[in-house]
Every structure is written in structure tokens, then in C-alpha cells.
Structure 1
Amino acid sequence: MTVLSEVSGALEAAADPAAAVALARYFKTGPGAYGEGDRFIGIKVPMLRKIAKPYGSVPFDADSWLPLLRHPVHEYRLAALLAMTYRFARATPNEQAAIHGCYLDNMAFVNNWDLVDLSCRTLVGDYLLDRERDLLDELARSTSLWERRIAMVSTHSFILHGQTLDTHRIALVLIDDRHDLIHKAVGWMLREAGKRVSEPELLAFLDRHATALPRTALRYAIERLEPDVRRHYLEFR
């Protein structure tokens, strides 16, 4: 039995038509929306994790996973991405490079915020921990909304290792971005950097850039600060 048939069988068995309608609405699949045309079969993340996790012990073969990663149904793509993250954690350096390369080659299919957020910290951020990070600047300047979000959210890996410079740098690259999903990602990562690494560094960043940050990004970034500090920065906007 192939990976495609195994995973497809598990996904179809877990499908819920009623949930599919709700998910399609939640992920904005209507005309002109960011998820326009995406299809759902109604499986939530915990079940997708349960389906994908056993493949963390299976050596990665891109040809086996590409039909799932490029599948028109959202949950198929997410299952493939989750399996890749599980395998990445256990893979050899060469295998990690192959997984990372496969991810970059197929970013066109990582095309909603949950697909980005549940994959890029591992498949981009973790891979770049001990490497040059120019890729993030390239992605942050992409015309693709999802590649720009990948650039920002991938810095979560560095935050978890006590590093904030890349988070702050990519936030500045994206400071004039017009899309709400980028504003949210920027604010989220700034907040995480302040919470997990250094609140004084976050405050210093905000002192310099709060007036230029989109209001949504600013509100996300200051969410965990003391009320009087939040009010201070909101006065800039």
C-alpha cells in the first residue's frame, strides 16, 4: 500500500461533511477571499496530527508525498506538511535538506495561514538555525502573501532559541505590507519575542517603530504588556 492510499483512506474515513462547510467558511474560500476555491472534507488538526504522526518514523521520499502535498483538498496538504515536520525532527542532515528543499519547491501549495503556521517554523526556521538566513528576506519581499507569512512565522524557531534579531528585521521588511494576515503575523512574532526572550527588546523596538506599525500588528505585539504600557503605545495610533 502506498503513502497516498494509506493517508487518503485515513482522511476519507475521518471526513465530516458538516465540518467541511464550517471550515470552508472559516478559511475564507469564497470568491475574492484569500482562500478562494480551496476544498475541505472536514477534519480538524488533532485528527490530522494523529494521522500524520506515524510517518515521522518513515524515511522521507518526496515522490511519495507530492501527490498529497499538491492535492486540491486542504486537509490532504496539511496532513502531508505535518508528516514532513514529524519526520524532519528525526531525519539525518541530508534528509532534512531534502525535506526543506521539497517545502521550498512546493510553497505554492502552502496556501493558507494554518498550512503556513503549522509547518514553516520547523521546515524553514529549524533548518536555518545554523545557516545563513537571507532566504527569509527574499520570501518577505515576495509577491506571494503566503511566502511573506512564511518569512515572518519561520522566525518563531529563532525566538525559541533566544534569538530576536531576525524577527525584528523581517518585521521591518514587512512593516508597510497591506494584508491583514501579515499584520497579524508580524504582531504575533513580536509578541512572542517579547514574551519568550526579552520584553525590554520589544519595548525598544516599539519605541522606534510603533508609529509605523499597522494598528493590527501593534495590538498583537502589545497584547501581553501591562495595561498602562499598552495604552501608551496605542496613543501612537
Structure 2
Amino acid sequence: MDLHAELKIALEAAAEPGRAAPMQAYMRDQFVFLGVAAPQRRLAARGLLAGLKGIDADVLLEHAQRLWQQPQREYQHVALDMLDMHWRQLGVDHIPALLGLARQRAWWDSVDGMAGIVGEVLQAEQRRGGDGHAHMDEALRHMDFWLRRIAMLHQLGWRADTDAGWLFDAALALAHEDAFFIRKAIGWALRDYARHAPAEVLAFATQHRQQLSPLSYREALKHQPP
């Protein structure tokens, strides 16, 4: 039995059909669900995904693509769980493939999950002396706003590794946009960096308050002292 057949059996066994409709409604009826809550999904798939340790990166991406094509949303989340578990097998050259996946069946849940994986790959690249923003300049200018969101969010959790100049420039580059998911991403990225450098974020947000949307500004300073 192959991986995908085993995952299907495991997920269907973990499904609670009564959860499916509320989960679908939460995602604005864009996707169908089996009815597997996130903790149960991870538990059901963990052992099978762990067996992929050391697998070739291209094969890993093929598995992700195959999972992404399944109609039930849980399979895309399993693909993200798999990539997150084995991100060390990926490199900068795989970023375009990851971004390509993110554009398929895109919504905030899968896009934000992919932003975290892209960020892990790029932070590791930066720590090796490479380009921590590889492909992100292009993503920041991409016609697909979901890729712009990934670019804005890719440094989440980097703390001292954060390139503040890049972050602030990206925030200003997207500040004119009306899309909620972009405005929210700007505020989230700034707020996350404020955990490491609150004074710098406060100074930036104050200086550029007229350029930032009220949502971005409010989110950026959400945890700042009054």
C-alpha cells in the first residue's frame, strides 16, 4: 500500500463527519472537509509522514502536489504538515515550487502555512551566508496577492535574524493596497518583529502612520505599551 492510500485510510478513520459542515462554513464554503480536527489530523498522519525522512526533495514535492489535488481540505494541510516536518530537505531552488503550490486552492490557511515553510528554508539559507530573501522580491511584486502576503510574512519568528530594512521596505511597498489580507499581513509582520525590537517598530509605525492603513498600524502596535 502506498503513502497516499495509507493517509486516506488514516484520515477517514479520524474523521468526525459532524465537524465537516462547520469546518466548511468557516472557510466560507470554498472547500469540502472530511471533518478531521487539526490535532487528530497531525496524530493520524505523523507516523506515515515521519517515514519520509531523507527522501529526495523532488519526491517530497511530488507527494505534496498529489495531496494538494485531493478535494478535501485536510489533504492540503497534511501536505503542509509534511513539508514542515521535512523542510530541511528543501533549499532555495525549491522556493518557486512551494510558491506554485501556494497559488493552488489558495486561502489564508494554506498560504500562511506555506509562508512558514518558505521562511524556515530562507532563514536557514541566510544563516549559511546566503540570500534570506531569495525569490521574495519577485513575490512582493507578483500579481497574485497571496504571494505578496507570503513575501510579507516570510520573516515571521526570525527575531534577531530579521532584516528590518527589508521588512520595513516591504511594508511600505504594500501599504497602498486595499486588500484585507495584505493590510493584516503588514501589521502581523511588524507586530511579530516588535517582540524583538519594539522601539524600532514603534518608530517606523509612527513615522509612516499616514502611509499605513489603520488596520496595519493598529496590528503593528497591538502589544506595545500604552
CA distance in 2, matches of 1:167, 1:51: 37
Q: Give the corresponding residue for 1:13.
A: 13
| Residue 43 of structure 1: how far off its partner (Å) | 2.0
CA distance in 1, matches of 2:93, 2:37: 28
CA distance in 2, matches of 1:193, 1:18: 39
CA distance in 1, matches of 2:119, 2:63: 24
Specify whether residues 144 and 101 from structure 1 end up closer, same or farther in structure 2 by C-alpha distance, changes over 3 A only. Answer: closer
- Residue 109 in structure 1 maps to residue 109 in structure 2: no
Specify whether residues 188 and 40 from structure 1 end up closer, same or farther in structure 2 by C-alpha distance, changes over 3 A only. Answer: same
| Residue 134 of structure 1: how far off its partner (Å) | 5.0
| Residue 97 of structure 1: how far off its partner (Å) | 5.0
Range with bigger deviation, 97-106 or 162-171: 97-106
Q: CA RMSD in A?
A: 2.2
CA distance in 1, matches of 2:172, 2:36: 36
Contact 2:155 2:162 in 1 (8 A): no
| Residue 65 of structure 1: how far off its partner (Å) | 3.2
Q: Give the corresponding residue for 2:35.
A: 42
Contact 2:20 2:33 in 1 (8 A): yes
Range with bigger deviation, 157-166 or 13-22: 157-166
Candidates 27, 31, 44, aligned match of 1:51: 44
- Residue 126 in structure 1 maps to residue 125 in structure 2: no
| Residue 164 of structure 1: how far off its partner (Å) | 2.6
CA distance in 2, matches of 1:162, 1:142: 22
Unaligned runs of 5+ in 2: none
Contact 1:57 1:87 in 2 (8 A): no
Identity %: 27
CA distance in 1, matches of 2:166, 2:145: 19
Q: For 1:149-206, what per-residue CA distance to the aligned partner results, in whole angstroms no more than 9, with x for missing partners?
A: 21112121533634433322221221112111221111111001011x2111101111
Give the TM-score of the pair, scaled to structure 2.
0.84
Q: How does 1:205-224 map to 2 (within 5 A)?
A: 205-224=204-223
CA distance in 2, matches of 1:98, 1:56: 23
Specify whether residues 216 and 86 from structure 1 end up closer, same or farther in structure 2 by C-alpha distance, changes over 3 A only. Answer: same
